[in-house]
């Protein structure tokens, strides 16, 4: 009777490691460039028609102060753009576990709970809401990320999620 040889399994094993801050930054830049191209670019002409070209911030501010109806329209557009941008991150991360920038760098979003929930993905993306106090996350999130063991942003800690790098061996 012949014995079958035991060869190593050809299945690849998957390991997860904390994602580096540099890779996360590059992935975010890719995502923001994509969002600018797909979401913000179509609104560019609208903004150019609404706000006259001026040489300084103060002149633009004076113009907007004098035209409060335009300020309201611009605010609505800003919230619309923020909503679409949040949906971009939420849908990609829910359906694929990663945004386009994360795909390029092999990064994935994971939940410390069983599955990623939409509420977790919304909390991860709160920094995109263009009003106080959410704008503070632009400063607080990177600072917190530098001081946590797993490079988690504050919004990741609050949402019980983390960004990891996946290795297959």
pLDDT tens, residue by residue, 90-144 = 999 999 988 999 999 989 888 888 888 899 999 898 888 878 888 888 888 888 8
168: part of which helix (H) or strand (E)? strand 161-168
157: part of which helix (H) or strand (E)? helix 154-159
The answer to whether the beta carbons of residues 163 and 102 sit under 8 Å apart is yes
What's the rounded Cα separation, in Å, for the pair 44 and 71? 16
Give the tens place of pLDDT for each residue, 41-71: 877 777 777 777 776 778 777 777 777 777 7
Beta-bridge partners for 164: 18, 108
Which pLDDT value is given to residue 55? 65
What's the rounded Cα separation, in Å, for the pair 150 and 80? 33
Higher per-residue confidence, 87 vs 67: 87
Q: Determine how many CB atoms are found less than 10 A away from the CB of residue 130.
A: 13
pTM of the model: 0.76
- CA 91 to each of CA 20, 96, 165: distance values in angstroms, whole numbers, following the listed order: 23, 8, 20
What's the rounded Cα separation, in Å, for the pair 62 and 60? 5
What's the rounded Cα separation, in Å, for the pair 122 and 133? 15
- Report CA dihedral (55, 58, 62, 65) to the nearest 10 degrees: 130
């Amino acid at each position: 009777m012949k014995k079958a040889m035991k060869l190593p399994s050809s299945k690849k094993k998957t390991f997860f490691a904390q994602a580096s801050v540099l890779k996360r930054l590059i992935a975010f830049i890719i995502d923001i460039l994509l969002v600018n191209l797909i979401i913000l670019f179509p609104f560019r002409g609208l903004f150019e028609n609404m706000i006259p070209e001026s040489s300084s911030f103060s002149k633009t501010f004076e113009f907007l102060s004098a035209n409060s109806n335009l300020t309201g329209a611009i605010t609505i557009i800003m919230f619309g753009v923020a909503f679409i941008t949040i949906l971009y991150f939420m849908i990609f991360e829910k359906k694929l576990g990663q945004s386009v920038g994360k795909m390029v760098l092999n990064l994935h979003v994971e939940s410390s709970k069983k599955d990623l929930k939409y509420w977790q993905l919304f909390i991860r993306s709160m920094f995109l809401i263009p009003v106080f106090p959410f704008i503070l996350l632009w400063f607080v999130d990177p600072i917190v990320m530098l001081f946590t063991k797993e490079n988690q942003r504050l919004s990741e800690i609050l949402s019980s999620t983390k960004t990891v790098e996946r290795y297959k061996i």
